[in-house]
Amino acid sequence: MEVHYSKPIGITMLILGIINLILSLILWSIGGSPLASLIPGIACTFISIGYLTKSYFTVNENWIVTYALLGPLKRETRYESFDELIVSRNELPSVEGAIPQ
C-alpha cells in the first residue's frame, strides 16, 4: 500500500510557485531585482513537483519503505508481522527494536 503526499497542498504550492515566478519575471522586466522572489518561486515549484509525484511511504508484507521528498533516497524498515508495528502520536509506524536498512 502506497501513501502519497497531500495532492491539494502540492497543487496549491505549484500554483503559488508559478505565480511567484511570473511576478518575479514581471519585476525583472520593469528593472527591479527578481532574485528575492525568484529563489522561493523555484524552490516552491520543485518541492510541489515532489509532492505530486513521490510516495510518502510504502507498506509491504514485511517492510516499510520511506522515501525522501527530493532525491532518490529511501529507508527500509523490516518487521515480522503487523503486530510489531507501533503508531504513536500520529507518526509513521515504527517497529519496536527494528534496525533500518
Grid coordinates given for 32: 527591479
Determine, yes or no, domain membership for 17.
yes
* DSSP-derived 3-state class of residue 38: helix
- Among 86, 95, 90, 41, smallest CA distance to 63 is for 95
Q: Which residues contact 58 (CB under 8 A, 6 or more apart)?
A: 1, 2, 3, 64, 65, 67
Residue 45 sits in the same domain as residue 87: no
Number of domains in the chain: 2
Determine, yes or no, domain membership for 44.
yes
Q: What is the pTM of this model?
A: 0.68
Domain range for 83: 61-95
Residue 8 sits in the same domain as residue 49: yes
Residue 22 sits in the same domain as residue 47: yes
Determine, yes or no, domain membership for 83.
yes
Residue 43 sits in the same domain as residue 75: no
Low-confidence ranges of the chain (pLDDT < 70): 82-101
